[in-house]
Structure 1
Amino acid sequence: MPVPIEFSADDTVNILVLDELDYDRFEMVRSKGEIVINVASSGIASLLLPGGRTAHSRFGLPINVHESSTCSILQKSPQAELFIRAKLIIWDEAPMMHRYCFEALDKTMKSILQVDKLFGGKVVVLRRDFRQILPVVLKASRQDIVHATINSSPLWNFCRVMKLTKNMRLQSCSSPSNVDERPTGIRLPGLLSNMYDSDYFQGRAILAPTNECVEFVNDHLMSLLLGEEKVYLSSDSMFRDEQTMEDNAEIYSTEFLNTIRCSGLRSHALKFKIGAPVMLIRNIDQAKGLCNGTKLQIIRTGIHVLSCKILSGKNIGDMMFIPRMTLIPSTGLPIKFQKRQFPLIVSFAMTINKSQVSNSFACWFVSS
């Protein structure tokens, strides 16, 4: 097809550049067509940013970073061209990321741009509050966690700290549900009469300090919903490779694997009812708003898939089918096994840490 007059031939080759320029045309003219890259440290937070992407997907960061890590971006690649043309990079939830992630991007940007300046001379804005959750370091001491934060990196000496002192979200809040924020018992006012109203669960949640408290609250509120409760059991199995001996297969039976609870894996039996709010615990399709932390509402409980309506992000109201997925624990276990189950958890309640990357809502706190 003919090339649009306002674009050069080079612009039409790189789809990444075109995506970053796909904004309001009049606003882009006023800003002289400058490219701004929005990234976040989690999938659900990236949905809250215009054109947002996760830092790992946009920068090619390795999952397990170390001091010598770099980004998997090649010279003269489409990603490299995007970085060359970018004027500003906004990184949300920066305190949650390990310092080696920022240092990896710094080394990569210097190599791509061939400029010996911080991040290759590009302006990088690091957002979020250090009083929220810090990087998760497995079996680390307090000192190790502090050492893993961005302000323990040599890059921090080149950062300028700018503080926000006025809460604009509360000032612009006009919703009655947000105004009526008060501690209560384990209840959601108007639950049964509004359970099919997507706005109801979109703007409310119960916050609790631990996963055990969250499960207790979720089970209690699930029992209040009308309708039949459907139970979905997981399929757990050991990996059959050279690291798994036959003796282990006898010791770690299927019944034992069903009892294992660890980070990223839910219980063997999931109980759902139509109308219940749930949350994704895996990234499935970011373009369609299905990321780790996305809130949904169950509309139909099928045998192989669950029909759900999205309640958060930019795809609110869209209907999605959620299948079972093979979930594999990453670390912390002496054996290798996999669990095939729906990547969902009931989310009448959520932990305070999980709520920090979700949309704003009226919240009720439950003490442990």
Structure 2
Amino acid sequence: MANLRSRGEIVLAVASSGVAALLMPGGRIAHSWFRIPIDIHDRSMCAIRRGTILGDLIRKASLIIWDEAPMTHKLCFEALDRTLRDIQSADEPANEYKPFGGKPILLGGDFRQVLPVIEKGTRADVVDASLVRSALWKHVEVLHLTTNMRLHNPSLSQQARGELAEFAKWVLDIGEGRAPMNKRQGEVERTWIEIPKELLLTPCGDKITAIIDAVYPDFELNYDCIPYLSQRAIVCPVNTVVDEINDNMLAKVPGDAKDYLSSDTISNTLEKPVDFDLLYPIEFLNSISINNFQEHRISLKIGSAVVLLRNINQSLGLCNETRLMVIRLSDYVFESKIMTGTNIGQLVCIPWIVLSGNSPKWPFTLQRRQFPIRLCYAMTINKCQGQTLGNVGVYLRNPVFTHGQLYVAVSRATSKQGLKLLIEDDDGKPCSTTRNIVYTEILSLL
């Protein structure tokens, strides 16, 4: 990127997530930059036309870099392919028959990580949505990164270098399904893995207290310390456990909590019968909870840590997955400091915004006006993808349920010393075995 730009050439850098986009100079989020439709189908095109400023910029670009590509649905790449063929063929008609209109594209990412999320999708649905199952994949040249750059740190001792290399190999073995696994009675596939004892927590008392104490020692003294908070997180497969841990952590923050209630309304209904308000009262709308969507009630304290759920202002570093620390609370806005990304320590204000959510089981679209945040002492495994942390606690009250989740959870930590796992069996007792799901049919295509 630096080489091409130093010669006056144009490089467009995009990523599938906000955190990854901030890591690249001039990076943008792919959906925003290429105007990819949200409700995408197999004939979609991006909202970019010939002769527009953006269309001309793309036409003049020497290279497009797309990071975290494996987590994006294949239809997004196919929509961009059709759009680039149209734009590029304005100057050279033959470009209409070339992949991406003949434009060089560098796709970065790790197929061991979580693949595109398909709501209520089966394994076949997730695999079919992956980039490797697109017709474009036959034109891709796969390049493998093989050098662990952390091992080249001159400050590492020989012993530390050996431990880091061993930990990295163990993490890769989990991601590629090479770690020894067993199957239980009635199961067809081997999915159960034994975790090394030195990584396990085996408390006799409350499990949540144990994982909190392991990841957040001396929290009462450091609850408002950005370097302390930005390097720690507890990750879990599901939101219910995440919310339980976050509530426990908020109670440990000194001071009184301030509650914020959302304003919920209904929009985009095809028809509105007379008894519509009786069928869907405000209390029902308030009770609706959607993944990656703000809750009706949000409790905050001065010093609490939160994560953004939407892209607000990328130039300020306010993207989806940006972590913040609350500094001051008001009625319709709160002031915070950025804890991660490119603008660490900068003061920003987060307002109420209106977000829309829908579901096949509702005959309407929910509009919720609320802060686009959640507490982030604990996060779901999918939400923490892209984060790199010094201290990570993996709490598996329930096993992982899709490809790459265990790999993502354990690979968030930069060292073996910074990783702890607490696993519960069916009776709620600490154990050492958990499920590791790997879709080998995806990795075999690489």
Short-chain TM bin: 0.7 to 0.9
Matched residues in 2 for 1:46 and 1:172: separation? 25
Q: Does 1:135 align with 2:116?
A: yes
Q: Does 1:151 align with 2:180?
A: no
RMSD: 2.5
Show the counterpart of 2:50. 75
Show the counterpart of 1:341. 370
Contact 1:264 1:329 in 2 (8 A): no
Contact 2:72 2:130 in 1 (8 A): yes
Show the counterpart of 1:198. 226
Matched residues in 1 for 2:361 and 2:135: separation? 34
Aligned-pair CA distance for 1:251:
1.8
Show the counterpart of 1:4. none
Matched residues in 2 for 1:173 and 1:261: separation? 49
Q: Does 1:350 align with 2:325?
A: no
* Correspondence list, 1:300-319, <5 A: 300-319=328-347
* Correspondence list, 1:267-282, <5 A: 267-282=295-310
Contact 2:230 2:389 in 1 (8 A): no
Matched residues in 2 for 1:174 and 1:194: separation? 28
* Correspondence list, 1:194-233, <5 A: 194-233=222-261
3-state secondary structure, aligned to 2:62 = strand
Task: Provide closer, same or farther for how the CA distance between residues 183 and 245 of structure 1 changes in structure 2, counting only shifts above 3 A.
Answer: farther
Aligned-pair CA distance for 1:247:
1.3
Matched residues in 1 for 2:352 and 2:16: separation? 25
3-state secondary structure, aligned to 2:357 = coil
* Correspondence list, 1:85-104, <5 A: 85-104=60-79
Matched residues in 1 for 2:75 and 2:279: separation? 39
Aligned-pair CA distance for 1:84:
2.0
Matched residues in 2 for 1:359 and 1:53: separation? 20
| Cα deviations by residue, 1:30-77 (Å, 9 ceiling, x for unpaired) | x42222211111223211221111111211211111111112111122
Show the counterpart of 1:48. 23
Contact 2:267 2:366 in 1 (8 A): yes
Show the counterpart of 2:395. 366
Structure 1 residue runs of 5 or longer lacking an equivalent are: 1-22
Show the counterpart of 2:84. 109
Matched residues in 2 for 1:237 and 1:61: separation? 27
Matched residues in 1 for 2:239 and 2:154: separation? 30
Matched residues in 1 for 2:80 and 2:295: separation? 37
Aligned-pair CA distance for 1:186:
2.2
3-state secondary structure, aligned to 1:314 = coil
TM-score by length of 2: 0.71
* Correspondence list, 1:276-291, <5 A: 276-291=304-319
Matched residues in 2 for 1:350 and 1:358: separation? 11
Contact 1:38 1:51 in 2 (8 A): yes
Matched residues in 1 for 2:288 and 2:79: separation? 35
TM-score by length of 1: 0.85
Aligned-pair CA distance for 1:354:
1.1
Aligned-pair CA distance for 1:330:
3.4
| Cα deviations by residue, 1:228-263 (Å, 9 ceiling, x for unpaired) | 111112222333855332312112111122111122
Aligned-pair CA distance for 1:358:
2.6
* Correspondence list, 1:114-125, <5 A: 114=89, 115=95, 116-125=97-106
Structure 2 residue runs of 5 or longer lacking an equivalent are: 90-94, 157-163, 165-197, 202-209, 398-446
Aligned-pair CA distance for 1:172:
4.6
Show the counterpart of 2:205. none
3-state secondary structure, aligned to 2:13 = strand
Aligned-pair CA distance for 1:174:
7.5
3-state secondary structure, aligned to 1:140 = coil
Task: Provide closer, same or farther for how the CA distance between residues 169 and 328 of structure 1 changes in structure 2, counting only shifts above 3 A.
Answer: farther
Contact 1:279 1:293 in 2 (8 A): yes
Matched residues in 2 for 1:356 and 1:174: separation? 28
| Cα deviations by residue, 1:349-368 (Å, 9 ceiling, x for unpaired) | 11111111234442121121
| Cα deviations by residue, 1:320-364 (Å, 9 ceiling, x for unpaired) | 111112222133441333222111100001111111123444212
Aligned-pair CA distance for 1:173:
10
Contact 2:63 2:103 in 1 (8 A): yes
Aligned-pair CA distance for 1:215:
0.8
Matched residues in 2 for 1:161 and 1:249: separation? 55
Overall identity of the aligned pairs, in %:
42
Matched residues in 2 for 1:240 and 1:136: separation? 25
Show the counterpart of 1:33. 8
**Paired letter, 1:89:** I
3-state secondary structure, aligned to 2:359 = coil
Matched residues in 2 for 1:343 and 1:172: separation? 39
> Which of 33, 36, 39 is 1:58 aligned to?
33
